[in-house]
Amino acid sequence: MPSRSRVLRWLLEKELRELAASRSYWLLLLVVGALVGHAFITSVNLYAEASGIGGGPSALSQGLSPLEGLVVPTLGAYDLAATLLFPFVVIRLIANEKQTGALSLMLQAPASIYTIVAIKGVALVVAWAVAGLIGAVALAVWSGLGGHLYGPETWTVVLGHVLRGVLTIGVSSAAAALAASAASAAIVALTITLGTWALDYVAAARGGAIASIAAYTPSAALRVFEHGELRVATALILLVLGGGGLMIAATWLREGEPLERRALRLGGVLAGVVVLCVSLAQIRASVDVSEDRRNSLPRADEAALRRIDKPLHVTVYLAAEDPRLTDLERGVLSKLRRTMREVEVTYAASSRSGLFERPGDHYGEVWYELGGRREMSRSTTEPIVLETIYALAGQRPPTPVDERPYPGYPLAARPTYAPLIFFGIWPACILVLWWVVRRPRVRRLQSSRA
């Protein structure tokens, strides 16, 4: 009997060969190259115009950040690919074996169905990483033009797209296993995607508990990484959802078991995933990896707030569609959650827009409670909110410490040779590789017919 390592290696090689034989995967590589190329060229040109190329007016250098000016829009092409293209590659790898009967043979292999599905997941992660090569080329071209890249924030965005791919693998694998055909699986995967978009829309309008759930949709989770924040809970929940999808696929593909037993196992997996995600959502650890510290308070304030050992409770009377709530949440509350030991926020507004609130509804007020003391403020600016918290804590605001301002990185350069790289060299390389990989397969088919 072959060793376990040999069996695993054989299974991985088999899945990689299946991917290499998939036309949908090669099409994915071609389209991703075009999407990344278009996003990169557009971003560099806009960045150059903001930097004052051609004698035009330039923006303040502090406002020119490569993270949001180039890295996020360029790699954002992978979000589109993970939503509309990559699911078809994943579905084919699983649904094809169901339709051809190869799954029955695979179940007789010296490995459990969970191992087989896990190997498929590893192969798909490798395939997603290969698709990421053109993104690495784009960042290398940017560096070649003289552009600046800050390693921690760039790698965090890359990690976000890797986890986005893992989530797509899990959801599409589960859909391919549960659906009767590849077409049905594609419809299910697209329905789930549209459902998360609808959840984001509803959360933006209503807030509250729905907003807490919507914080872990693919788009919302990716925005955390794109904003330069490495949030432990978000990363772990994406991993759990991706792994849970593979577990669902493996559980349902045990075709030798009765339907009732598989359904019972499936319910157990779903319950375990939900419990684990709810538990992980309580983790508050996060790291601000952005070079301009956009997710952090001034260092002196952070040190002072960490010394407050009492929980802070904030009651906000602002509707979800009120721009003041967005300013308060992104500018102050999110930073307080990262800094203080315990911050609890209650959104008490009863309407969606706040346009028809009655005078006695306290609309526009934000109440802060700390150590049994309460104080109200209508301001959503960082200095006023911090002053209110210090007053409740009975301590003086810290002496400001001079911090090095973010310098900004203007770059007035055009990507002259980028179209040749993305729309010429990359497609040519993909077509040549496809022909090289396909050639032995064609020869085997011809010899078998002879």
Helix (H) or strand (E) holding 343, with range, is strand 343-347
Number of residues that this document lists for the chain: 450
Name the domain boundary from 347, 368, 393.
393
Cα separation, 182 vs 175, in Å, equals: 9
Indicate if the alpha-carbon torsion angle 101, 107, 112, 116 is positive or negative: negative
Residues 6+ apart with CB under 8 A from 174: 245, 246, 248, 249, 252
Which pLDDT does position 56 carry in this prediction? 59
Which pLDDT does position 58 carry in this prediction? 60
| Residue 277 maps to a domain | yes
Decide if 221 contacts 160 (C-beta within 8 A).
Answer: yes
Which pLDDT does position 67 carry in this prediction? 93
| Residue 183 maps to a domain | yes
Which pLDDT does position 443 carry in this prediction? 54
Which pLDDT does position 353 carry in this prediction? 54
Query: Which amino acid belongs to residue 314?
Result: V
Cα separation, 175 vs 95, in Å, equals: 9
Three-class DSSP labels, 209-252? HHHHHHCCCHHHHHHHHHCCEEEHHHHHHHHHHHHHHHHHHHHH
Q: Tell whether 305 and 283 lie within a shared domain.
A: no
Which pLDDT does position 247 carry in this prediction? 94
| Residue 257 maps to a domain | yes
**DSSP for residue 54:** G
User: What range defines the domain where residue 357 resides?
Assistant: 299-393
Q: Tell whether 194 and 213 lie within a shared domain.
A: yes
Decide if 410 contacts 49 (C-beta within 8 A).
Answer: no
Q: Residue 36: which of 148, 140, 165, 189 has the closest Cα?
A: 140
User: What CATH number is associated with residue 314?
Assistant: 3.40.30.10
| Residue 412 maps to a domain | no
- Residue 292, Cα to own-chain centre: how many angstroms? 21
**DSSP for residue 356:** T
Q: Residue 123: which of 8, 248, 228 has the closest Cα?
A: 8
Q: Tell whether 259 and 334 lie within a shared domain.
A: no
Name the domain boundary from 393, 415, 435.
393
Cα separation, 428 vs 191, in Å, equals: 35
Decide if 153 contacts 291 (C-beta within 8 A).
Answer: yes
Residue 184 burial (CB count, 10 A): 15
Which pLDDT does position 360 carry in this prediction? 53
| Residue 379 maps to a domain | yes
Q: Tell whether 179 and 268 lie within a shared domain.
A: yes
SS3 288: strand
Q: Tell whether 236 and 163 lie within a shared domain.
A: yes
Which pLDDT does position 379 carry in this prediction? 87
The secondary structure of 8-41 as a DSSP string is HHHHHHHHHHHHHT-HHHHHHHHHHHHHHHHHHH
Decide if 32 contacts 134 (C-beta within 8 A).
Answer: yes
Q: Tell whether 263 and 367 lie within a shared domain.
A: no
The secondary structure of 353-401 as a DSSP string is SSTT--GGG-TT-EEEEETTEEEEE---SHHHHHHHHHHHHT-PPPPP-
| Residue 242 maps to a domain | yes
Cα separation, 233 vs 231, in Å, equals: 6
| Residue 62 maps to a domain | no
- How far the first Cα of the chain sits from its last, in Å, is 34
| Residue 139 maps to a domain | yes
Which pLDDT does position 10 carry in this prediction? 83
Per-residue pLDDT of the chain (450 residues; tens, 9 = 90+): 567 778 788 888 888 888 888 889 999 999 999 999 999 999 999 998 888 876 655 656 667 889 999 999 999 999 999 998 999 999 988 887 776 666 666 666 667 888 888 999 999 999 999 999 999 999 999 999 999 999 999 999 999 999 999 999 999 999 998 888 888 888 888 888 888 887 777 766 666 667 677 778 888 889 999 999 999 999 999 999 999 999 999 898 887 778 888 899 999 999 999 999 999 988 888 899 999 888 888 888 988 999 888 899 999 888 877 888 888 888 888 899 888 888 888 887 766 555 555 555 678 889 999 988 899 988 888 889 999 999 998 888 888 777 788 888 888 888 989 999 999 999 999 999 998 887 765 555 455 554
